[in-house]
């Protein structure tokens, strides 16, 4: 990119295609030597216009569309949507269905946190941990596949209940898998808290104290690592969390290490919770009858996604399609904190800090307002692209065309 004319300051652009990012997002970091002075975020590369699209699909079709907002936390999106629509339609979901929703949600949290652990370790250059945690993640993927028949978009929810039941044989498989995962999670907890090299990359890096966290409005594990006591599963219980509360996990130091510990301990809490749910699965039908048209009105639903609070607003005009659906995802609340956290940090720590909030751009990029700042780049896209083509064309064309 174009170097800045100011000799001390240099802008390092990261993304949208960058090895440190698995998803497209653009960040510009102004650095003075190695130290980041300011940062700006540009989002929207994965913006598809899902909210608008929901208005031209039926209630049932939307379930599958909204599930595909995110491939990591797909079940929780569908759950939030179902809870809202069921509230509007005044439908009571059978208790067994509620319990299975919670069960799949906790399995999903385990898979998401293991995935995150791997990616975060990868950003720190600790690829061994990345490979191990992804190997172990396959265990929970197997469980999810055995339960619902799919590895990623489980489609466990339907409006008015769930599709899949858990029988004794499956429950035994789940317990077996959980025992293995629990052992591994305890091991990872030991690794991230004792490995000297890894601690140098996490302890005291990207510290956000409780006040800062409250101010920038971070939620989910990122907030809980800074001592913000906010968890929708506890504050406003839904599905089976009202009857069977889950153990909250909080840390207070607010650095990267705390974010690792919170997520790993949350996994341990999830293991306990799933075992408890399997012991207390209520007996009831799985679904209840759902009307095709949903009564006129507005509803909100809040759930705790692996990354934090997920919020749905649903408005119906009494037809077979929604009038408006708005989704606010946890990454939107957390991403602003990155721009503050990186200031004063080493450039090398930036990917770790970014990954520390567990950003999910595909969730986030449905709605974003971009302030256009076209003046900063002296080179237009077309010019830059043409330059690349010409440069590589003339230098390597002989070699290529042989």
Partner 1 sequence: MTNGASPHKETNLWQSVLDRLKLWSRKHSPWLIHFNSGSCNGCDIEILATLTPRYDAERFGVQLHGSPRHADILICTGPVTRQARERLLRTYEQMPNPKYVIAVGACAITGGTFAGCYNVIGHIDEVIPVDVYVPGCPPRPEAIIDALVILLQKMSTNGPKIEEAVS
Select from 134-142, 167-175, 208-216, 238-246 the region that touches partner 1 (CB under 8 A). 134-142
- Pick the closer one to partner 1 by CB: 135 or 280: 135
- Pick the closer one to partner 1 by CB: 153 or 275: 153
Retrieve residue 324's tokens.
């408006």
Separation of alpha carbons 166 and 157, rounded Å: 14
Separation of alpha carbons 106 and 247, rounded Å: 12
Q: Indicate whether 45 belongs to the interface with partner 1 (CB under 8 A).
A: yes
Residue written as token pair 């399995």:
107
Q: Indicate whether 250 belongs to the interface with partner 1 (CB under 8 A).
A: no
Among 50, 178, 278, 335, binds partner 1 (CB under 8 A): 50
How many C-beta neighbours within 10 Å does residue 115 have? Answer: 19
Q: Indicate whether 334 belongs to the interface with partner 1 (CB under 8 A).
A: no
Select from 39-47, 216-224, 227-235, 324-332 the region that touches partner 1 (CB under 8 A). 39-47
Q: Indicate whether 7 belongs to the interface with partner 1 (CB under 8 A).
A: no
Q: Give how far Cα 399 sits from Cα of 239, 385, 393, Å.
A: 62, 21, 10
Among 12, 28, 41, 65, binds partner 1 (CB under 8 A): 65
* Nearest to 366, CA basis, from 328, 399, 400: 328
- Beta bridge mates, 162: 157
Residue written as token pair 């299975």:
100
Based on the number of CB atoms within 10 Å of its own CB, is 38 exposed (0-12), middle (13-18) or buried (19 or more)? middle
Q: Indicate whether 70 belongs to the interface with partner 1 (CB under 8 A).
A: yes
CA of residue 214 relative to chain centroid, distance: 20
Q: Indicate whether 23 belongs to the interface with partner 1 (CB under 8 A).
A: yes
- Pick the closer one to partner 1 by CB: 98 or 362: 362
Q: Indicate whether 129 belongs to the interface with partner 1 (CB under 8 A).
A: no
* Nearest to 193, CA basis, from 113, 112, 263, 271: 263
Binding residues for partner 1, per CB under 8 A? 16-19, 22-24, 44-50, 52-53, 56, 64-65, 68-72, 74, 115, 118, 130-132, 134-135, 137-138, 141, 151-153, 360, 362-363, 365, 381, 384-386, 388-389, 392-393, 396, 400-402
């Amino acid at each position: 990119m174009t170097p800045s004319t100011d000799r001390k300051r240099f802008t390092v652009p990261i993304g949208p295609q960058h090895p440190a990012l698995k998803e497209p997002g653009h960040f510009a970091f102004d650095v003075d030597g190695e130290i980041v002075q300011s940062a700006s975020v540009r989002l929207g590369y994965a913006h598809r216009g899902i909210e608008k699209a929901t208005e031209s699909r039926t209630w049932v079709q939307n379930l599958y569309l909204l599930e595909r907002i995110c491939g990591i936390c797909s079940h929780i999106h569908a759950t939030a949507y179902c809870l809202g629509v069921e509230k509007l339609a005044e439908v009571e979901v059978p208790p067994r269905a509620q319990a299975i929703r919670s069960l799949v949600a906790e399995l999903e949290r385990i898979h998401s946190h293991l995935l995150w652990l791997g990616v975060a370790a990868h950003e720190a250059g600790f690829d061994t941990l990345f490979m191990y945690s992804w190997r172990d993640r396959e265990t929970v993927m197997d469980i999810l596949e055995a339960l619902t028949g799919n590895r990623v978009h489980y489609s466990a929810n339907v409006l008015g209940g769930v599709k899949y039941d858990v029988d004794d044989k499956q429950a035994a498989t789940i317990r077996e898998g959980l025992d293995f995962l629990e052992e591994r999670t305890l091991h990872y907890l030991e690794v991230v808290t004792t490995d000297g090299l890894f601690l140098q990359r996490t302890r005291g890096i990207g510290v956000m104290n409780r006040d800062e966290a409250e101010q920038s409005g971070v939620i989910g594990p990122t907030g809980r690592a800074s001592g913000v006591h906010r968890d929708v599963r506890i504050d406003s219980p839904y599905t089976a969390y009202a009857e069977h509360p889950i153990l909250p996990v909080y840390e207070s130091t607010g650095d990267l290490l705390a974010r690792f510990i919170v997520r790993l301990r949350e996994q341990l809490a999830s293991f306990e919770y799933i075992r408890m749910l399997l012991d207390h699965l209520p007996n009831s039908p799985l679904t209840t009858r759902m009307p095709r048209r949903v009564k006129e009105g507005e509803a909100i639903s809040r759930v705790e996604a692996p990354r934090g609070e997920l919020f749905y607003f649903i408005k119906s005009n009494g037809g077979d399609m929604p009038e408006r659906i708005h989704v606010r995802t946890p990454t939107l609340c957390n991403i602003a904190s990155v721009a503050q956290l990186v200031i004063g940090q080493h450039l090398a720590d930036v990917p770790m800090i970014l990954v520390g909030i567990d950003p999910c751009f595909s969730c986030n990029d449905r709605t974003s307002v971009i302030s256009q700042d076209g003046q900063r780049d002296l080179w237009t896209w077309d010019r830059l692209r043409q330059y690349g083509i010409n440069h590589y064309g003339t230098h390597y064309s002989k070699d290529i065309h042989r």
